[in-house]
Every structure is written in C-alpha cells, then in structure tokens.
Amino acid sequence: MFGRAAQSTPGPWFRCALCAAVGGCALVAAYFAARPYLSGPPADGAGFEAWYHAQRDDSRTALVAAGLAVLMLLAGRAERTVGRLRSFFGATCGAVNLAILRIVVFWLLFGVVSPDGLVWFARLPEILRIPPYGLAWLDNPVLFDPGVVGWTAVALRIVAIAACLGVCTRFSTITTTVLSLYLLALPHFDGKVDHGSHHLVWFALLLAASPCGDALSVDAVIRALFSADAGRRELRPSAAYGLPLRLSWLLLGILYFFPGFWKVWSCGSYWALSDNVKYLMYDKWVEVGGWAPPLRLDRYPVLYRGGALATLAFELGFIVLIFFPFGRRLAFGSGLLFHWSTAAFMRIRFTVLQWCYVVLIDWEGLFHRLGRWTFNQRLTVSYDCARLGRWVALVRVFDLLGRVDYEPVSPARQKSRGRSRFAADVAPPPAVLSVCPGGGDPIRGHRAAVRAWLLRVPLLWWLMPLTAVAPVGLFEADGSRHGGASRRVRTARKARPGPLLPRWAPAALIGGVLIVGNVHFGIRKELEVWPVSCYPTFDFVMRSPHKARVEFEFVGTDGVAVAPDYRVLGPAGSAGMQRLQSGVLAIRDPAVRDRYLRAFADVLERALPPDAAVAEMRAYRVVDTTIPELHGRHPRRAHVATVGLADFLAKPVMSLADGTTTGAAEVLPGD
C-alpha cells in the first residue's frame, strides 16, 4: 500500500522541476509572441516582407512552446489525466439528451435537403462538375440523373421525419444518414466545398450507431406499452447514451481547432493585430451585395483587432473547454457569441452549426432542476401493475421533470395501505391508483389525483381536460365494472443472452473513424473534402481592400447589353451561378479552363430572354475596391475576350493571363 502511494504521488523535487519547465515554456511563448511588436512593423515594402516572415516564425515558436507547456503539464500529472479521460469517455447520462440531439439533427437534415436545389446541381453539364477529394466515383450518369436525385431527396425527407419522431428509429436514422451522404455531396461538385452540412452528417452517423430512440420517440412508447405487464423498467443512465455526446463534443472541438491553428501557423499574430480583419469584412460585404452593418466595426481598430484575438483564443481553446462541466457552459456561450458576431458583421451565419450546440446542454439535468424549482414537493404514484401498468409506462415516457416516484403494488397491498391511512369508519374503497403528494395521504377523488399527476408531466398537459370526462371506474378495483377479473400479469420471459458487443461500441467505432479522418485532413489543411474535412481557415492576410472577379456580358445585335435572368434556372440559380463563376479563377490549366467556360456559357444562355437576339459574349476580369463608400465607382476592367455566341461552343475562347486565385489584389499567403 505504501509503495503504491509513493509511486502515484510525485515528490517535491519532481513538482518543482515540472513547475519550472512549464513556467519556462510559458515565458518563452510570451516572449516570442510579443517580440515582433516591440518595435513595430516597418513601413517600406521590402522591410515589411522580412518583418512579416520573422513575426510568423516567432508566432510559430510561441505556439510550439505553449503546446509543450500543456503537454508537460499533462504528462506530469499523468495519473490524473488518464483518470479524467476515463471518466470523460466512460461517463453515463440519461437517454433524453441523446433523443433531443436526434430530433434536432434529423429535423435540420429535413430542412437542408431541397429537392429542387439538388436537381439544379444534377442538371449541370459534366464539364462543370469538379468532384471533391475521393468522390470521383460518384460522378456518373445514374447518380446525377435529375429524376433519381429528386425522388431520393423526397425519400430522405420522409425518413428524416420518421427519425425525428422516432418511428423505426434504427432503420430511419441509418437510411437518412446514407441518403444524406449521397445527396449532400452533389452541391460540392461545382468546384467549391461548402461546410454547412459536414457536421450534420457526423452527428447523424453517431446517432445512427447509438440507441437514440430509447426516449422521446414512438418506439419508446411502443416499447413501454409492451414491456409494462411486469412493471416497466426505468431507463437508467448509460455510457451508450453518454459516449456519442462526448464524441460529438470532440468533433466540434476539432472543427474549430484547425482553423485557429492554421491562422497562427501560416500568418502569425499579424492575422489579428493588423487591418486584415477589416479587409475581410469589406470583402464579405461586397459578396452580399454591398451591405454594411449598422455598427461600422471597421472604424474602431481596437474592437476588430480585439475580436480577432478573441477568435483565435476561442478556436484554439474550444477543444480544451469541453473536458470540464463549466468549460462546456463557457464554450456554449462563447460559441454562440462568436457566430452571432460573424453573422452581425460579416453575414457568415453557420445557423445549422449553431443549432447543433444543443449537444452541449445537459437537458436531463436542466429539466430536473426546472422540476425542483416548479414543484418543490414530490409525488408518489402507487398503481396496480396488472390494471394500469401500461398507462403508467406510457406516462413515464414523457415524464421529463422527474418529480414523480412510481411504486407498482398488488391490489391486496393497495387495499391494506388504504386502511392504514384512514380511520376504519372512513376507509376508502380499494383502488388501483393512489397519488400521494410528499408522502402524505392520498389525494381524494380519482380525477383530482390524475390531474395532480399529469400536472408534473408538461408534455401531457393537453390530456388534462379529458380527465373531466374519463370514467371513474377505470381506477377502481372492482372487476365487475370491467367485465371480469383483472388482467393477469405476464410471467417473465427467459433471459436472453446479452449482445456480443456493448451498446456503446458502434458509436465508438464510428466516432473514432470520424475523429481520425478530420484530424488527418485538418493536419493536411484539406478543405475540398466530403464528408470529413478541415473547415475554412482564412489563413491569409489581406493588405489592400481589393477584390478580383470575372464578369460575363451578353451583347445583342443592336449593341445593347442583355442581362441574364438567373431566376429561370431554378431555386439555386443565382447563388449557383455565382459559385460557378468564382470557380473560373481557380482553374490554372488553360485547356481545362476553356472547356469549363464553354459549358459555363451554355448554362448562361438558358438564363437569357427567349426573344433576345444575342450576337456575342464578352468576358472581363474586374478588380474593384471593397471599401463600401468607394466600391463600384472606378473599377478596373480588363477585357478578356469577345466571341460570337454561335462560335463559342466550337473553339477555345479565352484565358486569364495572371491566374489569380486569391480574389484580392494584394495578399500575404501562408505556406
């Protein structure tokens, strides 16, 4: 015993050495983080370039030193760290938290899948399809057939509603997840992978591999009705409910960590302590049509630079906060503040991701605290399992507040219990339901007792008016009112052998694959991947408020420009054409670019008025300032090509000389 204690408790010299090492790394990190700004950046161009790369190297050194400090602190307290990790992944929780995540995730999948929008992408010419990494096999005529895509989207929405309601939960969740992996990949074939639905598929995969239908579902109601003859067993907290939630927290942490890491690694602290964020805001304001927020944050350098530093701290620290109960509350609040700020000042909403924050809330604990605050007195419901077992089991499915204690008793025990609580001359008739507040005397009157019971189950408040017309004999023990003796209790079945794997094993396997995949692509900074990916990093520094784009103009036989109407292309027409148009700048191979532009012009022609006599198409490369007060006044337009529309599909027509891909006139990229 003594040896074990001495082995698990580090000595004073070890603790002193650990504190010195951690403190030294922290001082090194602080020094290298502050060193570039002791003298400030030089004003001249050549000197600034050297200073910029030097501060980036100093920021990398500071980041490595801070990481070493954290690793040494964890290694020095290895036993406590391992214990915390075991308690984190092995923690149990109730089924309600997982059920609420199921409802939210599959409702969001129902909303993000638009049959009309997906059919629009399926009708794009084959040359305009640029498959994400590893999905070239998906680009085939069958899977891109508009009819197949449309009916598959309708089927997905149907099974997504079934998954929300918990109807055949295992089948509906798996089917919805498989179909979403296919359908939500189609919009990414236009050359740009959006990251608005990756996390939805991650959570759907974890839910499909977990018992997420054990609460708040139609399956739970049916299971309660058929298992109540011998008294329904209460759902106990289990690791099968807790592990999928914790894996979801880890995926959220990885989602935020790598964008923050690459900002610091590629650009250094100058990403936040410069006008870069201001120019990023200008760029986004131009993208949304020249919009500007009511509060012009770009006029207050202290605010937008402080917000940029807070962004780095939030993205790098989120994955640490999730391991602590208070940290998860802090992560929840800071995450919502981060997304609300980007929505208010940059129109980057990530609304679907914000809804997924429900995974960070302990709903079961919240409901129980609400129950204690609303009903300070518990209620005891004693019932005859043979007569009311199924009704009670049905109510317990919706009992979220946890302020009711259920006690199944036999009719003989119920009768003796009634005689013991009342005087002999006022003994009530035997009953199959007894409701006692706070362990006191039963509530007199069966309707009043049922109302007091339902009052503590808010999801069933809509049944309270029905108690006024319910037959009183339902709760009496006299079998003559119900056509004979009470229903006999079904004998217990022979115990079945347990499963080969624990219930949490499938979720652990799926979660491990998702974590490894996201970490792999996060390290490689691969953004154009589905369904695992590194989220947008914004790891570049904009030093001037300019933006480059490609404009197409159709000219009629009379020399007047003809404006295309993108709305005729479908619900995703305008946004989809803008995405395709921005993809022109990303193509470096002239031959590939020519083929892309020919197909692009073919799609554009569909948006022209039917009676328009178009003679030619002109293409321009436009560089314009993104400053709201000056945007659009003096753009620099470089004519790329003017081609007769009839000859456009027959020959290569245009090329972009400089191959600019950044969308800005002056950008300092990372590695």
Determine if residue 435 is left, alpha or beta; phi over 0 gives left, psi from -120 to 50 gives alpha, anything else beta.
Answer: beta
State whether 547 and 616 are in the same domain. yes
State whether 441 and 554 are in the same domain. no
Domain-located, residue 101: no
Report the domain count for the chain. Answer: 3
Question: At which of 482, 501, 532 does a domain end?
Answer: 482
Q: Looking at residue 470, what is its pLDDT? A: 61
Report the interhelical angle of 385-397 vs 218-226 (nearest 10°). 170
State whether 662 and 559 are in the same domain. yes
Tell me, rounded to whole angstroms, the distance of Cα 344 from its chain centroid.
20
DSSP class of residue 540? Answer: E
Using CA atoms, how far apart are residues 78 and 578, in angstroms rounded to an integer? 52
Tell me, rounded to whole angstroms, the distance of Cα 243 from its chain centroid.
17
Beta-carbon contacts of 269 under 8 Å, excluding residues fewer than 6 positions away, are 33, 36, 37, 55, 59
Domain-located, residue 584: yes
Using CA atoms, how far apart are residues 540 and 538, in angstroms rounded to an integer? 6
Question: At which of 32, 53, 76 does a domain end?
Answer: 76
Q: Looking at residue 553, what is its pLDDT? A: 75
Q: Looking at residue 309, what is its pLDDT? A: 93
Domain-located, residue 147: no
Q: Looking at residue 107, what is its pLDDT? A: 96
Using CA atoms, how far apart are residues 47 and 45, in angstroms rounded to an integer? 6
Domain-located, residue 246: no
SS3 for 348?
coil
Q: How many helices (H) and strands (E) does the chain have?
A: 23, 9
Instruction: Tell me the torsion sign for CA atoms 464, 465, 466, 468.
Output: positive
**pTM here?**
0.83
Domain-located, residue 576: yes
Q: What is the b/e burial string over 251-270, where b = at least 16 CB atoms within 10 angstroms of the residue's CB?
A: bbbbbbbbbbbbbbbbbbbb
Domain-located, residue 116: no
Using CA atoms, how far apart are residues 212 and 162, in angstroms rounded to an integer? 13
Domain-located, residue 149: no
Where does residue 145 rank: exposed (0-12), middle (13-18), buried (19+ CB within 10 A)?
middle
State whether 452 and 556 are in the same domain. no
Q: How far is CA 329 from CA 305, 355, 373, 401, 445, in A?
A: 25, 15, 21, 21, 45
DSSP class of residue 429? Answer: P
How many residues in the chain? 671
Per-residue pLDDT reduced to its tens digit, 217-255: 999 888 888 776 544 456 788 889 999 999 999 999 999
State whether 460 and 575 are in the same domain. no
State whether 659 and 550 are in the same domain. yes
State whether 547 and 477 are in the same domain. no
Query: Residue 636's beta-bridge partner residues?
Result: 623
Using CA atoms, how far apart are residues 456 and 460, in angstroms rounded to an integer? 9
Q: Looking at residue 7, what is its pLDDT? A: 46
Domain-located, residue 300: no
Q: What is the b/e burial string over 295-315, where b = at least 16 CB atoms within 10 angstroms of the residue's CB?
A: eebbeeeeebbebbeebbebb
Question: At which of 448, 482, 516 does a domain end?
Answer: 482
Amino acid (1-letter code) at residue 364: E
Where does residue 612 rank: exposed (0-12), middle (13-18), buried (19+ CB within 10 A)?
middle
Q: Looking at residue 40, what is its pLDDT? A: 73
Name the residue range of residue 396's domain.
378-482
Task: With residue 295 as reference, give the H or E element that holds it.
Answer: none
Per-residue pLDDT reduced to its tens digit, 477-495: 444 344 334 444 444 455 5
Q: Which residue ranges of the chain lie beneath pLDDT 70?
A: 1-10, 43-46, 127, 191, 228-234, 385-386, 410-434, 438-441, 443-445, 468-500, 563-607, 610-612, 615, 637-671
Where does residue 133 rank: exposed (0-12), middle (13-18), buried (19+ CB within 10 A)?
middle
SS3 for 652?
coil
Using CA atoms, how far apart are residues 448 and 433, in angstroms rounded to an integer? 12
Residue at token pair 């895509």? 149
Question: Which CATH number goes with the domain that contains 405?
Answer: 3.40.30
- CA neighbor of 576 nearest in space, from 567, 589, 564: 567
